[in-house]
Amino acid sequence: MLRAKFKYSEEKLNWMSGFDQILKISKEKEATEIIQGILSGEKLTEKDASKLFKSDLHLITGFADYLREKQTGDYASFVINRQINYSNICISRCKFCAFYRKSGEEGAYTMSREEILNKASEAVAMDATELHIVGSHNPDIPFEYYEGTLRQIKKKFPDISIKGFTATEIHFFSNNFRMSTREVLERLKEAGLEFMPGGGAEILDDSIRKKLCPAKASSREWLDVMKTAHELGIKSNATMLFGHIEKPEQRVKHMFRLMKLQEKTGGFLSFIPLVYHPENNPLGREIGMKASGVDILKTIAISRIVLGESFTNIRAYWIMLGKKLAQVALRSGANDIDGTVIEEKVAHEAGASTSKSATVEELLAMIKKAGLKPVQRSTDYNIIRKW
């Protein structure tokens, strides 16, 4: 697993000595005291974590980079993967989403099993080790479609990992097919589901969710799905969509709610802060703003500071950040940049202007230019290859 025991080599001691000097000369008294408290073993509170958003960028990202080094070593990881978005027909119609279509609307689609298998075959030909399968809340798809698709993929490609269906999709399946969450997950696991992505979390604060996604699972329901999945041995990621109408305090609350569940289950593999793109959706037309680079880097850094001991892996999702900002994020607390992706749709429908995929060579270059050692990982963060 990508977790390193920190050894105080002379080089690291010199680096930490330099960071001590930064703390000594910092004019950010409150943030400095919070960081010194963390270094001395004090437990970080939600209130103090929220205060860090008001502090100096270099101080916060420098500390987060130190913690990343301590917790994961000199490596930054990626996965060779492919996204498959099986349908965009959705009844939830979240205000931040540009991906969904109504049934019968131009551009609406649901893939056949053959189409999905063809995409899986293309991924395997590219040496992918992971399929990321997510879609929508489509009431017209029978449950057998999901089970049958998973079974056919595993039969044809037994060695590829299937990471599929967000917690909100699982919650929708439970309601739509009148099954318990546990039964839904048990049947999907039996059919071949091994991991779950972290999507649908948005902000785990129902005052925000009622404005953004009132037809989707509540905060408690999202967390309960993940708890059940972890109990069944289905590990998952966790995301946070930020940079819209939420406040820094609500981002921190989100992180602490995830940490609380992680302490119980240990089932989260990584935390992925996702930057909201306002370009092509109803929410964007209302607020018309986008998170700044400074805000993005602070959020990633504070993610490491709050969650690093319990989550270990903090992801800089290059699809939403762009490759250059993702590189900076690798020295601001993140230790993973996701992967080759191959045909991302959701973020690009919302306005992301990045490429829809990346080659292994591009990912290697991104990591090396950030001064870190690239490693290819599996879905559950075991190292497959080092460079």
Provide the residue ranges of all domains of the chain, joining segments of one domain with +.
75-386
Look at residue 357 in the predicted model and tell me its pLDDT.
78
Q: What percent of the chain has pLDDT over 70?
A: 90
Residue 6: pLDDT over 70: no
With 80 as the cut, is the pLDDT of residue 11 above it? no
Yes or no: say if 310 and 266 are a contact pair by the CB < 8 Å rule.
no
Using pLDDT thresholds of 50, 70 and 90, give the confidence band for residue 8.
very low
- The pLDDT of residue 267 is above 60: yes
Q: What is the arithmetic mean of pLDDT over 10-30?
A: 62
* 120-154 pLDDT, tens digit each: 999 999 999 999 999 999 999 999 999 999 999 99
Q: Dump pLDDT digits (tens) for 181-215.
A: 999 999 999 999 999 999 999 999 999 999 999 99
In this prediction the pTM is 0.92
Q: Mean pLDDT across the stretch 163-187?
A: 99
pLDDT of residue 346: 58
The domain covering 75-386 belongs, at the CATH homologous superfamily level, to Aldolase class I (3.20.20.70)
Residue 292 has pLDDT above 80, yes or no: yes
Mean pLDDT of 297-314: 97
pLDDT, tens only, 79-88: 999 999 999 9
